[in-house]
Amino acid sequence: MFQLKPHKIVFPPVSLANNDGLLAIGGDLSLERLIEAYRNGIFPWYNEEDEIMWWAPDPRMVLFPKEIKVSKSMRAFMRKSNYKITQNEAFEAVIKNCASVHRKNDTGTWLHEEMQDAYINLYKNDRAFSIEVWNENSQLVGGLYVVKSNDKVWSGESMFHKEANTSKLAFIHLAKLAEENNIPIIDCQLYTDHLASLGAREIPRIDFMKYFQ
C-alpha cells in the first residue's frame, strides 16, 4: 500500500493497485492533487472517518457515448415530458443532492463535506461541470456532475433523481454532449446494474489507460 506524502503530488502507476483497485492512501484533496489523479485515471473514494483512499479499479466501468441505450419506454417518456435540461446552472445544488443519496455500493457517506468542497473547487477552476434537470415548476429534480479528466475522458461522479427517470435524462444528455465534444469515453468507475442498463460496460484497466496516453 502506497502512502502519499503531504507535499509531493505524485501517484504510483495504476498497475500497482491491489485486487480491489486501491492504489494509495493519504495526501489531500487539493486542486493540484485532484487534477493529477484524474489525468492518471485515479479517483478518491473514502468514508469521512477514514484516511483519503485513491482508486484505480480493474476492470473499469465506462460508457462509449455512441453505445448509450435508450429504451422504448424511455423514448416515449422523453417525448411526453416537459423537463428542462441545463448545464452549470446549479453545480453546488447538484452535488449536495447527490450527497443525500447512497452511491458507490451504498456506503452512504463517501460524498461528505470535504469531498463536496473539493469538487466545487474543481468546478470553479473549469475542471468539472454539472447537468441539471428541472420540472415545470422550476424545481431541480435530477442531475449529475462530471470531472474533465483530460481532453479524451470525462469522469461521471454521481447522479440523483427526485422524480422518475430524471437521472436517466441527465445521463443520456451527457452522452449526447460527449459526442458533440468528441469525447470518446465516459468513465463510470464502478459497475452498477443501473449504469449497465444504460449501455455502460466494464473494460480492462489496461485498455482504459490508453485514453490517458
Indicate if the pLDDT at residue 188 is higher than 70.
yes
Give the tens place of pLDDT for each residue, 65-78: 999 999 999 999 99
> Of 17-26, 63-72, 99-108, 126-135, which range is least confident?
99-108
pTM attached to this predicted model: 0.94
Mean pLDDT of 158-167: 96
Q: 68 and 28 share a domain?
A: no
Which residues contact residue 78 at a Cβ distance below 8 angstroms, ignoring those fewer than 6 apart? 70, 169, 172
Q: 94 and 73 share a domain?
A: yes
Q: 158 and 86 share a domain?
A: yes
| Cα dist from 213 to 6, 45, 152, 157, 208, whole Å | 26, 24, 10, 22, 10
Indicate if the pLDDT at residue 102 is higher than 70.
no
Mean pLDDT of 13-28: 97
Q: 183 and 207 share a domain?
A: yes
Domain assignment of residue 104, given as a range: 60-212
Instruction: Give me the number of domains the chain comprises.
Output: 2
Determine what percent of the chain falls in helix, strand and coil, rounding each to the nearest 5: 35, 25, 40
Q: 165 and 196 share a domain?
A: yes
| Cα dist from 131 to 12, 90, 193, whole Å | 32, 8, 22
Indicate if the pLDDT at residue 104 is higher than 50.
no
C-alpha cell at 191: 459497475
First to last CA, the chain: 25
